[in-house]
């Protein structure tokens, strides 16, 4: 089947703004409340989400500002202008490696959670393979279509999450949130680290900003887009603490899922709310994985321009699948996440900051 081609592969500022929350909201929805509860006391984790989000917002703006200086140029092209072609080649390959590891981690997580809560008789390998096939089909087509799909999916995801949160009001106990500011400095630092790591994914701006029709507006719209996951994570965390308390939340593996299982919609309209939650969560993971995987393809295509996009995809798909299936248990998956946490500061903070600093010192800009 021949994929449908749009008239152009340009994306609007709104579509790029939607891409940031689409790529950020993912696995952290399930794990962040537990990790924050372990690092802080009572409901003090909301400060860590806010501080981590503000840091992420700053680097999102900086990354978009860097890429916007070089309109209509790929990351490999403008980084070659800044740090020489050999160095740019190595940096681009490192980012491809990071994006592939990130993609594999998300796929393995969705396979593990789906097996545990939805398909208990289906092997995780089969679930992960089926999901990867859908992702492969999506990235094989038009790149602009992925962004239009995010514009469609994100409002649905946010709306359903808010419905679930509203349905928890009868279970909510305000006493679980108090007293405030009882966490020590070390707890706030560890919690801010958890919160900051929950916002990973803005590295895609290094590759996609060049596709914008008006890249000068990228820093503003992407920074605004980062506010959406900040609000979502804060509300999810506060609701989880209000329903379960800090002590219970820190001992639940996936507190967000357990909260959705406790929700009862009045009138018996929908008996199992967690299935609705799983549906939108899978949509969120799909948006995250497609953007990450497509960014890795785009990066490789910028280096090997003579190689077709489809060829790169079918080379990467088996690699992504094999890496995603390396963890054999939830404990190994957590350790796999530690590898991602090690690569994250280098890929999403250090590289954009250094390139931006060099571009600023040299007053370097692309001609577009």
pLDDT, tens digit, for every residue of 281-292? 999 999 999 999
| Tens-place pLDDT, residues 348-358 | 999 999 999 99
Which CATH number fits the domain 23-361, given the four candidates 3.40.50.10480, 1.20.1600.10, 1.20.1740.10, 3.50.50.60? Answer: 1.20.1740.10
| Tens-place pLDDT, residues 19-46 | 999 999 988 888 999 999 999 999 999 9
Phi, psi (rounded to 5 degrees) for 11:
-125, 150
Q: Count of alpha carbons within 13 Å of 117, Cβ hemisphere only?
A: 24
> d(Cα 89, Cα 97) in Å, to the nearest integer?
12
Please choose, from the candidates 143, 144, 148, 81, the residue with its C-alpha nearest in 3D space to the C-alpha of residue 301.
143
Cis status, amide bond into 179, omega within 30 of 0: yes
For residue 145, the Cα-to-chain-centroid distance in whole angstroms is: 19
**Tokens (6 digits) for 159:** 């709306």
pLDDT of res. 4: 46
pLDDT of res. 64: 94
> 158 near 228, Cβ under 8 Å?
yes
Measured CA distances, 343 to 150, 161, 197, 270, 305 (Å):
26, 30, 11, 42, 26
Q: Can you say whether residue 254 is alpha, beta or left, with left for phi > 0 and alpha for psi between -120 and 50 degrees?
A: beta
End-to-end alpha carbon distance in the chain: 34
**Tokens (6 digits) for 270:** 């929908």
| Tens-place pLDDT, residues 194-238 | 999 999 999 999 999 988 888 889 999 999 999 999 999 999 999
| Tens-place pLDDT, residues 240-281 | 999 999 999 999 989 998 898 888 766 555 667 778 888 889
Q: What is the pTM of this model?
A: 0.93
Measured CA distances, 36 to 208, 288, 299 (Å):
32, 22, 34
């Amino acid at each position: 089947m021949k994929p449908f081609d749009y008239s152009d592969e340009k994306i609007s500022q709104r579509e790029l703004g939607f891409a940031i929350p689409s790529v950020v909201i993912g696995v952290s929805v399930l794990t962040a409340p537990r990790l924050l509860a372990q690092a802080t006391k009572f409901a003090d984790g909301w400060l860590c989400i806010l501080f981590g989000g503000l840091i992420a917002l700053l680097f999102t703006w900086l990354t978009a500002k860097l890429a916007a200086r070089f309109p209509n140029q790929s990351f490999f092209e403008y980084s070659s202008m800044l740090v020489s072609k050999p160095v740019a080649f190595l940096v681009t390959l490192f980012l491809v490696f990071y994006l592939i590891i990130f993609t594999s981690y998300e796929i393995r997580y969705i396979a593990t959670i789906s097996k545990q809560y939805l398909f208990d008789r289906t092997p995780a390998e089969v679930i992960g393979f089926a999901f990867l096939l859908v992702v492969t089909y999506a990235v094989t087509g038009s790149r602009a279509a992925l962004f239009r799909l995010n514009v469609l999916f994100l409002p649905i995801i946010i709306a359903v999450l808010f419905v679930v949160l509203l349905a928890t009001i009868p279970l909510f106990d305000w006493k679980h949130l108090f007293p405030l500011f009882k966490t020590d400095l070390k707890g706030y630092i560890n919690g801010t680290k958890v919160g900051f790591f929950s916002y990973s994914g803005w590295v895609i701006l290094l590759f996609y900003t060049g596709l914008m029709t008006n890249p000068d507006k990228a820093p503003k719209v992407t920074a605004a887009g980062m506010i959406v996951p900040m609000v979502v994570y804060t509300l999810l965390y506060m609701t989880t603490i209000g329903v379960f308390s800090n002590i219970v939340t820190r001992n639940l593996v996936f507190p967000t899922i357990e909260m959705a299982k406790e929700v009862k919609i009045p009138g018996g309209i929908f008996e199992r709310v967690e299935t609705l939650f799983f549906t939108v969560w899978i949509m969120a993971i799909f948006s995250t994985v497609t953007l990450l995987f497509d960014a890795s393809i785009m990066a490789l295509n910028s280096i090997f321009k003579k190689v077709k996009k489809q060829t790169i995809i079918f080379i990467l798909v088996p690699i992504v699948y094999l890496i995603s299936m390396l963890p054999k248990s939830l404990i190994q998956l957590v350790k796999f996440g530690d590898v991602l946490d090690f690569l994250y500061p280098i890929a999403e903070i250090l590289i954009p900051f250094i390139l931006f600093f060099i571009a600023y010192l040299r007053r370097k800009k692309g001609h577009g």
